[in-house]
């Protein structure tokens, strides 16, 4: 989570009100219910892993073995096995 200065984003009157309760300490403000994003949604990591795993399964179906996939994708043998033999929900 990226640190953001409250003085950069809050209006002065709200910042003064918050400073009555918290001075010079870090404050975490959670997202409202229903606004929380899924893991990897901001960074694109989720989509990257989905594409990578699809490619791994495709190459396995085309005849690459677990050791070759492990070496090509820099993943452990067990990780490749989980990706290849994972059942879709």
Question: Is residue 14 pLDDT above 70, yes or no?
Answer: yes
Rounded Cα gap, residues 16 and 22, in angstroms: 10
Question: Is residue 89 pLDDT above 60, yes or no?
Answer: no
Residue in the block written with tokens 């073995």? 65
pTM over 0.95: no
Cα–Cα distances in angstroms (integers) from residue 68 to residues 25, 50, 56, 81, in the given order: 51, 20, 10, 12
Question: How much is the pLDDT for 53?
Answer: 96
Domain ranges of the chain: 45-85
Q: Are 75 and 49 in contact (CB under 8 A)?
A: no
| Nearest by Cα to 22 from 32, 10, 34 | 10
Mean pLDDT of 6-32: 89
With cut-offs at 50, 70 and 90, classify the pLDDT of residue 88.
Answer: low
| Tens digits of residue pLDDT in 31-79 | 788 777 777 777 889 899 999 999 999 999 999 999 999 999 999 999 9
């Amino acid at each position: 989570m990226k640190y953001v200065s409250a003085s950069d984003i809050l209006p002065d009157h709200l910042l003064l009100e918050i400073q009555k309760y918290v001075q010079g300490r870090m404050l975490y403000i959670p997202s409202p219910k229903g606004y929380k994003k899924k893991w990897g949604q901001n960074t694109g990591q989720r989509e990257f892993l989905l594409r990578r795993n699809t490619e791994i399964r495709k190459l396995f179906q085309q005849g690459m073995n677990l050791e070759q996939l492990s070496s090509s994708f820099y993943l452990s043998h067990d990780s490749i096995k989980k990706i290849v033999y994972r059942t879709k929900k």
